[in-house]
Each structure stands twice: as structure tokens, then as C-alpha cells.
Structure 1
Amino acid sequence: MLALVREKYSGPIDVRFGPPLAAEHLASEDGITVHHDTLRRWMLAAGLWSRARKRSPHRTRRERKAHFGELVQLDGSFHLWYEARAPRGCLMNLVDDATGRTLARLGAEETIWAAAEVLRRWIETYGVPLALYTDWKNVYVREPNAEEQATGTVPLTQFGRMCAALGIQIIAASSPQAKGRVERNHGTHQDRLVKKLRRLGIADATAANAFLETTYLPEHNTRFAQAPASAEDFHRRTPSRVALDRAFQLEETRVLSNDWVIRYDTRYFQVARQSHQAPAKSTVLVRENAAGAIEIRYREHLMRWREIPAPPPKPTPAAVAARPPARTGVPARRRPSGDHPWARGYDERQQRAIALGRGE
């Protein structure tokens, strides 16, 4: 058995399997059942395991919430999940505070759509939680602008607006330690998940997420999740697919120009003229879903539109000043030069007139 451990599960400190993980793979891959404590003693004696437990500074832990769905922690973990096989990725991780139950998805970045995707999967699986515990990244929360400060309006990011539409409160943690459960969960995944992905040769998010959904997360939750202090589930009923589609959209307001054109990001949309609906200079709502589909509404009326090319850029003041004057149909008057015969004759007449006036 130890020869098998040395061959398949040993190596440098950042590569080797710990006794619990090695025991799992001995059972699942090699058909050998051994308790991880027993395997630890054998590995220590054989020099295959020597890592001492790292002792972190003592902190008073916040008590877990009593109910499943009362508070769910959300965070992204950037890591070399595929080691040298692919670039760094981001694991979007949801952890229930009461039970430690986990749902996660691998992607490239911690974006609005990455957060929305993992939250939607949680809702479709368990229902709508009461609150999310996040950090202060601008994906989740933001500072109020001057108008919001003056009116006392709560500032919302796009993700915050999605949560508000579903009745989910966002609570921003004061420090990484405050959301310690999801942070410790990251550490577990950075050890166990990385090694399992290596064993399977997985090097892309599609294959990794299929493995997470079908194998890794069910095994992880069976092993690490615990029963809540209270049996009452605080999740609310999962909304319909149509309601979720509507909630998980970007929303921006725009003003119709005089020619019924709006600009959205770098795109221009010509709205069909519908006199019984939005007049020019009206404010319309632009919605965009995760697939990039656009809809434009005025007072909940769906507007027809088509995308048009961007208008040519306006000339700068310097370019306007340097532009030659426009030619007209009337030729400009030209004054003769001083030595022109016409000009010389005119000057002589002027001099004679002056002399006569003086009586010379």
C-alpha cells in the first residue's frame, strides 16, 4: 500500500496528497480501504508525510446562523486551479453559514454574470436565501453618489439590484476574517479540488464545472456539511423561470434623442417611431440578459428597434479652424496691387484733387 501511495499520491509539499485525501483515492481508485488516521501514522513512519498543522492567530468566531438559507456567504477565489495546464481562474463559491453546504462554479473572473450564475444555480437548487454575505468589491456594493447622498437612496450595483428584485439582502463583511467560512472553504478547494482536477487531467472550465456538479460537490457536501441548529429552512420558494430570467438582467435608463436613437455602451439603437408610446426625449429602460439579448421598454411597453452604425465623429475645434473657407457662387472682390495702372491713375487723380482743394 505504501508503495502505491509513494507512486501515485506522494511528491513535493504542494503536490502530495494528505492522508485523508490519499485514503479517499485509495478507496475509489485502487479498492483499498484504510482509515485516514491509520494511513497518517504509516505515512509519517515511512517519511511520506511530515507537514505540521499551521497554527493561525486565535480569533473569536462568529456563531453560525441557526437556519439553512438564513445567510449564504459568496466570494470568488483566484487560483491556479489547473496548475500549469491552463491560466489562473476564479472559483465563485457559495457557502451556507448554518450548514457549510457549498455550491461553486469555475470561470475566468469575478464578474456580475459569474456571481449571477452561481446565485441562480443556488436558487434553482435550494430556493431564495434571506441574505448574502459578501466583501466590498464593486460587483456587490458601491458608495453612494452625490444625488443618492442628498436623497438618502441606497446605492445598488447591477448585482445588488438583481438581489433586491428577489428580496435578498446584501451584507458587506468588514474584513476577510469576518467571512471566515467561505475563506476556509477556499483553502479546502485549493487543496482537494486542484489535486482531483490534476488526476483527471482537466484543464478547462466546462469540464471542471461538469466534474464539480456531478462528483466533487456532492462528495464534498456529504463529507463536510453539517445539520443546522434549527430544522426550519429559511429559503423561500424558487421563482418561476420567467421571473428568474427577468431578475437576472442588466438594467440601464437612456433618453431617446430627437431622431429616436439611443446609445448603449458603444452600440446605437434606432427605436421604431411609435407615436402612441414614447415621444422623443423620453426615458426608456434597456435590459440585457446573460446571453447579450437586448430589450427596450417604455413604461413596460416593449419597443421595436434595430441596431445602426455609430455616427461619424464630430470634428474637433482645431480641425474646424484649420478647414479652408467654403467657396460660394459669387467670386470674391480682388483689390489691384499698388503698381497696377488702374491703381496708379486713381492715385494721380487723388493728388490733383487735393492740390486743387488747397488752391495750388
Structure 2
Amino acid sequence: MGLIAMSERDLQRIEVLSKVVDGRATLVSAARVLGLSERQVRRLLERIRTTGAASIRHKAIGRPSNNRISPGVRDYALALIRERYADFGPTLAAEKLAELDGLTVSRETLRQWMTGAGIWLSRKQRRTFHQPRLRREAYGELVQIDGSEHRWFEDRGDSCSLLVFVDDATGKLMQLRFVRSESAFSYFEALELYLKDHGAPVAFYSDKHSVFRVAKKEAKSGQGMTQFGRALSELNIEILCANSSQAKGRVERMNRTLQDRLIKELRLAGIGSMDDGNAFLPRFMARYNQRFAIAPTRPDNLHRPINMPSDRLQEILCKREQRYVGAQLTFSFERQRIMLEESDVTRGLVGRYVETYAYADGRLDVRWKGHSLSYRVFDKDQRVTHAAITENKRLSDVLAYIKERQDQRPTPKVKTNSEKNGYTPRSRKPGRNRDFMNDPAVIARRRQALSDLDAAE
């Protein structure tokens, strides 16, 4: 007889029942220890005396279940899944098998079948691991940037976004800026402050937000880069986009740290607005960097000074686009109609492209070969259309803009059906909703009746 596999429960039963057989324990105490009835203990003792200790094992061990599903049904279900539902999960596949094919199988049974056949991978098998990446060696070699939308001022102010610039080599906070939302103009503003304080780094490391990366591959304008990417290209700064949030984990972890530390610092300082918060951030960064920043592997500072006048930097940190001039010397810009002033220069621009410079303060400069052109806005009714594509990170800002524009417009007056049909009342007849006590005509008639009664008396 070979080896027999037994469970822990069976081994415990053999140990207790052997003491009863040897006379070291009573049948009653064995029943209490095993949690069985005395009658069941007698059966087990009789089984041991006749066929040995191995007979304690359950007779159904190693045998197929009496309620098992036949192999033919299993093969049929797997064939349907391979043919029609190869990319379905077990839950959805079970629903469709019952709905479309009339085959009812529980999702857990189907999960085991699909896992055994290699069609479905468990969550543990699908798990991906992100290997840690060493820090950059030099200060200014790589700066991670990100925006974090949060209720930074809690109930004291509105929700806003915090732009975070973190040096990869030292973990130093390079720039913090409260803005309404992540946009090209908000990053231009933060980048200008960064360049004035530190200079130009070698590269920025960001996510795939549309500010940094063109989302549509078929985009024809912009030479495949965004406005922010075009500005960095002119400043000779590289922009790198991470494939996952784990890849730029340093700035992601910094966001969680700031959502704890910075919020409490703002609460203690009693700050509840973005302007006061931006004035407070330099002091916070200085204290944080003094305590938590580390020394880089190499002592080099790879930041390059920006040797250009401020007006040239403003021309780089703006939205620059080309617009086609129509036959009426007009072109569209931001849902507005721009009309060029007629002159000797603009008469020859029909059918050509002019360059627009849109600045963060709302100014718009129209240029042709470097010369500014005079214009006027023909359509000033700028609004968000019903089909406007809005990203999640800009949703709060867009909703606030829509609410502001709705509050500026007068409340529309809803006409009744009578007013729509042009009905006008012709007399002051009593009606169901007439207030007779306060009606001037009724009061006048009552007074006249009283005066006539006094005269008759």
C-alpha cells in the first residue's frame, strides 16, 4: 500500500481515537474533543478496528463530484467563448452565454474554465510591475511637472489647481503656482517665473496632457507639437511625456505630500484665495527644500541662463497660430470674427495667412511678416458651444466661465399662451383668481354706494 494523503482533521481524529482504543481516553471525552456524537465515534472506532486507520478518510476523496458539469458542456462553452467572446471577461461572457446561446453557467465556474484554458488571466497574472528608476545625477538635468486639482483652501475658497515643478536629482521644489485650471497660459505663466528664478533646464518630464502632447495623430496644424511644446523648442528645452503615472512617480508623490502638508500650512496661515496662496508659496518652498532636499550625485548645475529681453520672452510664451484671411479681410479666432483695417498692406492679404499672438492678459496681436496689423472685433459674443470638447482637468474652469456668462445675461421672460397668441383683456370682469377686497374698481363702487346711502338717509 502506497502513501495516503490525509487532511489535518483526519489526523486529529486518528490521534484521539487511538487513545480510546488503547484505553487512555473514554468515548464520551473523545466525542467532546472531536465535536461529534457518541454514535458517530462508535462508527469511526468500528471502522478503525476492521479496516485500519486509513478508512477514516472520506470515501468521496479523489472522486468526481456528483453535481459536476459534463465535459461536453465545458468544451462547448469554451468553443463559443473562443469564437465570439475571446476578449470578454468571465462575468460578461457568462451573461452573453445565457442571453444569446441559452447556456447558463455561473461566472466563477466559467472563470475557472477560462483560466484553465488560457483564455483569461487572473488579476495576479495581469499585474504589471514598475521597476524603480535611479535619480538623475545633476541638478537641472530633468524637472518633473504636473498639475494637481484639489480643494487646497478647503471651505475657505474655491477649488483650483496647483502646478508643481520638482527637480528629479534633488527632489527640490522648483516652482509652485496656484491657477484656476491646467492650460497653456497657466503653464506659460509658471514657466516664465521658473526661467527667471533658475534658468532653462535640460528637459521637462510630464504626463500626456494636451498642453504637452498632441492627442490627435491626424492633427494637421502645429507641426505635431502643442503651443507649450513650441515654446520649449524655441527655448531649446526638451519635453518628455511619461507613459504612466508611475513613471513620473516623484512628482505624483509630491502631490500627495502637498495635499497633506500644504493644506494644513494654508489653514494655519488663514489663507483662502489664490493670490494670497501664491504669495505664501515661496516661503513654504524654502522651508520644505531646506528640510527635505538631498544633494545630487554630481555637483553640476545644468540650468542655462535666459539671455533675451523680456518682450522677446513674452512673444515665445504665448499662443501663436496662423489664420486664413477671407475675401472680406476677416478671419475666425476663438469663436470671434476679426476684421482687419483696410490699408495698402491688408488689401494684398486676401487668401493669405496671418500670424496671431494671443497673450495671457487677453491681448491679441495680428502680424504679417513681423509687422503688427490694426483690426477690430466684429463678433464679441464669445461663448462655449454645446459641442465643445472639454478635458476633465479643465472642466471646473469651463463650468465657472459658463456660470459667469449666464449670470451676466438677463433672465429670459417666459410668455404665457395668452401672451403668445396676442390676447389682451378688454374689461375688468371678476375672475376666479380675482382679489375683490383689494380691487380698486370694487373699492370705488363700494364707496359710491355708501355715499349714496348716507345721502338718502
TM-score by length of 1: 0.65
Verify: 1:280 aligned to 2:350, yes or no: yes
Residue of structure 1 equivalent to 2:365: 295
Q: Measure the CA separation in 2 of the matches of 1:59 and 1:74.
A: 20
CA distance in 1, matches of 2:180, 2:237: 25
Structure exhibiting the larger radius of gyration computed from Cα positions:
2
Match of 1:73 among 128, 144, 147: 144
Give 1:21's aligned residue: none
CA drift of 1:145 comes to: 3.9
Kindly indicate whether the alpha-carbon contact (under 8 Å) linking 2:163 and 2:176 is maintained by their aligned counterparts in 1: yes
Q: Secondary structure at the match of 1:221?
A: helix
Q: Which amino acid aligns with 1:168?
A: I
Match for 1:251 among 320, 327, 352? 320
Q: Is the 8 A contact 1:143 1:155 kept in 2?
A: no
Q: What CA distance in whole angstroms lies between the structure 2 residues aligned with 1:143 and 1:76?
A: 18
Q: Distance in 1 between matches of 2:289 and 2:159?
A: 25
Question: 1:99 maps to what in 2?
Answer: 170
Secondary structure of 2:246's aligned partner: helix
**Superposed displacement of residue 110, structure 1:** 1.4
| Partner residue in 2 for 1:268 | 337
2:285 match: 217
Gaps of 5+ in 2: 1-127, 382-457
Question: How far apart in 2 are the matches of 1:279 and 1:140?
Answer: 32
Distance (Å, rounded) in 2 between the aligned partners of 1:208 and 1:276: 47
Query: Structure 1 stretches (4+) deviating beyond 3 angstroms?
Result: 57-60, 143-149
Question: Within 5 A, what are the aligned runs for 1:1-360?
Answer: 60-102=131-173, 103-146=175-218, 155-213=224-282, 215-238=283-306, 239-276=308-345, 278-309=348-379
How far apart are the structure 1 equivalents of 2:317 and 2:281?
23
Query: Are the counterparts in 2 of residues 202 and 208 from structure 1 also a CA contact under 8 Å?
Result: yes
**One-letter amino acid matched to 2:182:** E
How many angstroms apart in 2 are the aligned matches of 1:270 and 1:78?
Answer: 38
| Structure 2 residue matching 1:146: 3-state secondary structure | coil
Identity %: 32
Cα distance, 1:161 vs structure 2: 1.4
User: C-alpha deviations, 1:176-226, integer Å up to 9, x for none?
Assistant: 11111111111221111111111111111011110102x111111111122
Aligned length: 251
CA distance in structure 2 between the aligned counterparts of 1:271 and 1:148, rounded to whole angstroms: 26
Of Structure 1 and Structure 2, the greater helix share is in 2
SS at 2:349 equivalent: coil
Deviation at 1:130, TM superposition (A): 1.5
| Structure possessing the higher relative contact order (Cα contacts under 8 Å, 6 or more residues apart) | 1
Amino acid at match of 1:165: E
In 1, Cα distance between equivalents of 2:220 and 2:240: 19
Match of 1:320 in 2: none
1:87 to partner: Cα distance: 2.7
Aligned equivalents of 2:292 and 2:129: distance in 1? 22
Closer/same/farther in 2, CA of residues 163 and 196 from structure 1, 3 Å limit: same
Equivalent residue number for residue 444 of structure 2: none
Question: 1:128, 1:290 → 2: CA distance?
Answer: 21
| Structure 1 contact 66–230 (Cα < 8 Å) conserved | yes
Contact 2:188/2:318 (<8 A) preserved: no
For 1:272 and 1:289, how far apart are their aligned partners in 2?
21
Q: 1:112 to 1:275 in 2, by over 3 A?
A: same
Structure 2 counterpart of 1:272, one-letter code = E
Distance 1:148 1:264, change over 3 A: closer
What whole-Å deviation, never above 9, does each CA across 1:16-45 have from its counterpart, x for those lacking one? xxxxxxxxxxxxxxxxxxxxxxxxxxxxxx
Mapped to 2, the partners of 1:147 and 1:119 lie a distance apart of: 26
CA distance in structure 2 between the aligned counterparts of 1:307 and 1:79, rounded to whole angstroms = 37
Between the aligned partners of 1:182 and 1:270, the Cα distance in structure 2 is 45
Instruction: Indicate the SS of the match to 1:133.
Output: strand
